[in-house]
Every structure is written in C-alpha cells, then in structure tokens.
Amino acid sequence: MITVRQAVASDAGAVERHLNAALSEASTYRGRHEQRAGAETVLVAEIEGCVVGSIAYTTEDESWHVVRCHVEKEFRGVGVGDHLMDAFLGAARAAGVSRVGGEALPGDRATKNLFERNGLVARLILVERNLD
C-alpha cells in the first residue's frame, strides 16, 4: 500500500537522496529547469514505512508549481508518482489554488506522461540557443 504524507525532519536523508537522483537524471536530458522563487513544500510516498518517492513544490499566490517529482527506480511503474501527484493536487484544491504547473525537460517522457495522466497539459514550448 502506498501512503503519502508531508515530509518531516527524519525524512531529510531520503529527500536529499531523491533531489540528487533527480538532478542526476535531469542532467541526461537537454535543457535546464528554471529556478523557482519561494519555499518548497515536500511530500513523501511510503511503501511499508520506507520512503520511496517525493514531490517538491512551490506555492506562489494562486499558483503552485512542481519543482521535482522523483520515485526510486525499483518502485517505478506501481503508481507512486500518481499517488504523489494526487496528494499535491488535493492539497492545492483544499487551499483554493486556481492553477498548478510543472516542467518536464525535452526527452523526459516519464515526467511528461505523469503530468498528462494527472490533467496537466503543455501550454508553451520554450526554445533557446546558446551563442557561445
């Protein structure tokens, strides 16, 4: 059974591990994430008391933004990401938030698919080129 809850201090090691893994995976894709203002809120997903995934988001007025969502590789494909997204969306609804968003780098199909399964749709394709 997958449960989701707000992260607490004792989850810091797992959350840090997820952040590092997410950054490592992101480095394999083209593009880069923009830095978001505001403090992050983190939810964690557990299976049998073991933290196996996390979602971090910022809250900016009427818009909440997923900064990262990471599920440990051995627990992918069983619904952990969807449980995290469901908890995030539920918290946003309960807070009266009017819009949620997130970013998926080019080639990161898993994140794109997770967002789309949960009703988030692309509204802009941002392109750029370095001229160095």
pLDDT tens-digit series, residues 19-63: 999 888 888 887 776 666 567 899 999 999 999 999 999 998 789
One DSSP character per residue, 63-103 reads EEEEEEEEE-GGGTTTTHHHHHHHHHHHHHHHTT-SEEEE-
Tell me the mean pLDDT in the region 58-85.
93
Q: Which domains does the chain have, with CATH numbers?
A: 2-117 (3.40.630.30)
Q: Is the model more confident about 126 or about 81?
A: 81
Q: Is the model more confident about 7 or about 32?
A: 7
7 pLDDT more than 80: yes
Q: Which of 34-48, 60-74, 82-96 has the lowest mean pLDDT?
A: 34-48
Specify the pTM. 0.89
Q: What is the pLDDT of residue 6?
A: 97
